Amino acid sequence: MASNPEEIKNDILDQLSWDTRVEASEIKVDLSSGRIILWGTVPSYVSRWFAEQDARSVAAGKLEVRNQLVVRLPEETKPLSDDDITTAVKNVLMWNPVIESANIEVVVVRGLVTLEGTVDAYWKKMRVENLVSGIRGVLDIINRISVVPTRNFLDETIARDIVRAVSRTLAVDMSHIDIRVENGLVTLTGKAPNRLASYVVESTAQHSPGVMDVKNNIVVDKP
C-alpha cells in the first residue's frame, strides 16, 4: 500500500482508470496543503460520486480528499429542464419503499438539486442522495435533509450499540478504534488493520439507531 502522498496520488489515478463506473479521462489529481484534490470534468454526478469514493478508499484516512470535479454533460445528451429533473427526483423517491417521499422537499436550479426535509435514520439520508445521484441531468446535490429519530437515544447507548454490532461481525478488532458520539454525531478515530475493517465500522455506524451523522477519521495500516 502507498505510504507517501505522491504514491497515494498515483494509486488514486490508477484506481480511477481501473473503475468502469468512472469516466476518468478528464479527471486530474493534485496534492495541496496535505490534501488530495480531484478536479476536471465528469459526464454525470454518479461518476463524480464514485470518483470520490475511489479516492477516499485509496487515501484510507491518511490524506483528506477534496472533490472539485465538475459535471459536464456530453454534448449529444439531450438537456433536461429543471422541471423535468424535479419530476424525476420526486418519482424515484416516491417509488422507493423505504423513503417517506412526502417528507422530502426538492428544489432544482440549473441542475443543482437541493434536498430538504426529514428522515428518521442517517442511512436514509444517504440513500436519498444516492438515488438522486443517478438521475440524468443532475449536476450537483446539496443534501440538507435532517435526521430526526423517532425516539431519543443517549450518546453512550449509540456508541455501545455500534461496538456491539461491529463485534458481531467477527471482522474487526476494536481495540485501536475510538468511537465518540456527541448529540448523535459519531466520530471514528484510531487505526484499522485494513480498508475492510474501516468500512465495516463506518457502515455499522451509519446504520445504527439514533445516529445523525458519521465522520470517519480512521487511518488504515494495510490494504
Domain boundaries, the chain: 5-71, 82-147, 155-220
What's the pLDDT at 169? 81
Does the pLDDT at position 223 exceed 60? no
Find residue 220's DSSP bridge partners: 192
Question: Beta strand 219-220 with 185-192: parallel, antiparallel or unpaired?
Answer: parallel
* Secondary structure E strands in 6-131: 27-32, 35-42, 64-71, 104-109, 112-119
pLDDT digits (tens, 9 = 90+) for 104-146: 999 999 999 999 999 999 999 999 999 999 999 999 999 999 9
pLDDT digits (tens, 9 = 90+) for 4-31: 888 999 999 999 999 999 999 999 999 9
Q: Is the dihedral of CA 27, 30, 35, 39 positive or negative?
A: negative
pLDDT digits (tens, 9 = 90+) for 65-94: 999 999 998 887 777 899 999 999 999 999
**Average model confidence (pLDDT) across the chain:** 92
**CA count, 13 A, side-chain hemisphere, 3:** 2
Cα distance between residue 135 and residue 218, in whole Å: 32
CA angle 187, 190, 196 (to 5 degrees): 90
Cα distance between residue 223 and residue 212, in whole Å: 29
Does the pLDDT at position 2 exceed 90? no
What does CATH list as the number for 155-220?
Answer: 3.30.1340.30
The proportion of the chain whose per-residue pLDDT surpasses 70, expressed as a percent, equals 98
What's the pLDDT at 92? 97
What's the pLDDT at 5? 86
pTM of the model: 0.84
Does the pLDDT at position 221 exceed 90? no
Name residue, grid cell 428544489: 107
What does CATH list as the number for 5-71?
Answer: 3.30.70.1770
- What burial class does residue 179 get, using C-beta atoms within 10 Å of its C-beta: 0-12 exposed, 13-18 middle, 19+ buried? buried
- What burial class does residue 32 get, using C-beta atoms within 10 Å of its C-beta: 0-12 exposed, 13-18 middle, 19+ buried? exposed
What's the pLDDT at 73? 86
Q: Do the first three CATH levels of 5-71 and 155-220 match, i.e. the same topology?
A: no
Instruction: From the options 3.40.605.10, 3.30.1340.30, 3.30.70.260, 2.60.40.2140, give the CATH code of 82-147.
Output: 3.30.1340.30
Does the pLDDT at position 172 exceed 90? no
Cα distance between residue 73 and residue 75, in whole Å: 6
What's the pLDDT at 76? 77
At 160, the pLDDT band (50, 70, 90 cuts) reads very high
